[in-house]
Amino acid sequence: MQRCHWCNLANPLYISYHDQEWGVPNLQDDYLFEMLILESFQAGLSWETVLNKRAAFRQAYDQFDVAKVAQYGEGKIQELLTNEKIIRHQAKIRASIQNAQVFQSIQVAYGSFYTYLCQFTQGKRRVELGRTTSPLSAAISKDLKQKACPLLVLQLSTPISKPAELSILMREVVFSIGLKSNYTRF
């Protein structure tokens, strides 16, 4: 199999992700929630770093059960902050809980997170190559931000200066539901 240039061939986790997940549509809300959370932890780091900690994140985050994550309180936050196997960034951890709450509210309003995303695409698959952001990812990011989903804002004291930073996360979410954005799958 020919692989993308960014796939580290020395890392079996990265190879598995590339070969079995990258560019493969997954419309399940549990998977979309996992990607949303993992992508928000990637901010400032490489995707490979997050993949290497994915199993630990699954364990620490109750298998990415959105209902459980949405209910995390200070005790769980402190537990996550002391877990050396995950990325221990307080703002990212707090944002993940708020993201879970927004994700749940979207599920209630639209029936599923995937259905919510489809309102932006009318269910059509999109291919956008050679770009790091797109009007589609920007629109989804803007809407989620209006719903109080911190995504990559991470509840920082200063606002994000470039809307593209929010769009990067949603590009990945949009890609995971089968809407190619910025990447070619071989």
Q: Which residues are catalytic?
A: 17, 39, 47
Q: Which long-range contacts (CB under 8 A, 24 or more apart) does 104-108 make?
A: 104/66, 104/67, 104/70, 105/147, 106/147, 107/29, 107/66
Q: List, in sequence order, every residue forming a beta bridge with 128; answer none if it has no partner.
A: 181
Which residues does 99 contact at the CB level (< 8 Å), separation at least 6? 36, 37, 40, 149, 150, 151
Angle at 17 between CA 22 and CA 6, to 5 degrees: 75
Coil, strand or helix at 102? helix
Q: Spell 110-120 as b/e; 16+ CB within 10 A means b.
A: eeebbebbbeb
Phi, psi of 87 (to 5 degrees): -80, 115
